[in-house]
């Protein structure tokens, strides 16, 4: 079953007021591709302004706390994201799993908390270069799924998975088409095993050095239902051609 593609930008720690022009341009130009869902996950402090700038366009966070509220200095809750105008959030990005030592268990709790307030979730997974080279990539990602998938899916299409091999993030190197295909098929099997038929409706995004020049071949792979894009999502001129490639893949 071909799912509607989602192309989400992850601005990471980039984005000031002056970049709202790019949010505006991306939202406006995305309208030319109504068969693709487009979202931008911006720094938390920019969410409210971005959401006000482009009403109706999906603005998301990049992380959320696993608790609903409480004494967690400096943290941001799911309701706060929603209140600021976000409709989705990333959880479990490898940069946070690494730098903030986030465990699968914590990522799972974050996903469940976000889904429970009605945010859509992009849950990230992916193996290191060492694991890829040792032949353990599929098993490692399967273990991450076992540990971090929420117990139940939030509403229809509330959850998306982003397969992001760590060695492909920001490096310009991407896995082969066969490697992406093998991994996405393995993720799909796991999702169906876990959620039954509903597992077939969870979008599986690829992330890691996606750009206009490789997006077409990535989107043509079975079970690639979109992309999570870092560096190439900061400027409309780089990002919109990726959205266009997703639209072209849908049209076949």
Residues in contact with ligand PGA by the rule CB under 6 A: 10, 164, 169-170, 207-210, 228-232
- CA separation, residue 180 to residues 126, 140, 144, 174, 208 (Å): 11, 14, 17, 9, 11
Residues in the chain: 252
| 93 is known as an active-site residue | yes
Nearer to ligand PGA by Cβ, of 167 and 195: the residue is: 167
Which residue has the closest beta carbon to ligand PGA? 230
DSSP conformation letters of 214-242:
HHHHHHTSTT--EEEESGGGSSHHHHHHH
Do the beta carbons of residue 87 and residue 58 sit within 8 Å? Answer: yes
Q: Is the dihedral of CA 42, 102, 172, 58 positive or negative?
A: negative
Nearer to ligand PGA by Cβ, of 158 and 207: the residue is: 207
CB of 210 to ligand PGA, least distance (A): 5
- CA-CA distance, 160 to 5, in Å (whole number)? 11
- SS3 of 52, please? helix
Rg (CA), the chain: 17
Do the beta carbons of residue 150 and residue 159 sit within 8 Å? Answer: yes
CB of 68 to ligand PGA, least distance (A): 26
Pick the catalytic residue from 102, 106, 127, 164: 164
Nearer to ligand PGA by Cβ, of 169 and 195: the residue is: 169
Pick the catalytic residue from 65, 66, 93, 184: 93
Nearer to ligand PGA by Cβ, of 175 and 195: the residue is: 175
Nearer to ligand PGA by Cβ, of 33 and 163: the residue is: 163
Name the helix (H) or strand (E) containing 9: strand 5-10
CB of 165 to ligand PGA, least distance (A): 10
CB of 118 to ligand PGA, least distance (A): 23
Catalytic residues: 93, 164
């Amino acid at each position: 079953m071909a799912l509607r593609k989602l192309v989400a930008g992850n601005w990471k720690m980039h984005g000031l007021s002056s970049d709202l022009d790019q949010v505006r341009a991306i939202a406006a130009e995305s309208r030319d591709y109504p068969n693709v869902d487009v979202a931008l996950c911006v720094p938390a402090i920019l969410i409210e302004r971005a959401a006000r700038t482009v009403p109706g366009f999906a603005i998301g966070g990049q992380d959320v706390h696993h608790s609903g509220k409480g004494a967690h200095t400096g943290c941001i809750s799911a309701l706060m994201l929603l209140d600021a105008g976000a409709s989705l959030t990333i959880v479990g990005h490898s940069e946070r799993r690494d730098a903030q030592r986030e465990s699968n268990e914590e990522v799972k709790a974050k996903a469940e908390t976000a889904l429970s307030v009605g945010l859509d979730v992009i849950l990230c997974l992916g193996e290191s270069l060492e694991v890829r080279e040792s032949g353990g990539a599929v098993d490692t990602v399967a273990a991450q799924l076992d540990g971090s998938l929420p117990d139940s899916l939030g509403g229809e299409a509330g959850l998306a998975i982003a397969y992001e091999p760590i060695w492909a993030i920001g490096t310009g190197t991407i896995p082969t088409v066969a490697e992406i295909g093998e991994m996405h098929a393995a993720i799909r099997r796991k999702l169906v095993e876990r959620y039954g038929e509903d597992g077939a409706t969870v979008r599986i995004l690829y992330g890691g050095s996606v750009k206009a020049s490789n997006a077409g071949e990535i989107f043509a792979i079975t079970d690639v239902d979109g992309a999570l894009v870092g560096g190439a999502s900061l400027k409309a001129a780089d990002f919109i051609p990726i959205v266009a490639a997703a639209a072209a893949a849908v049209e076949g």
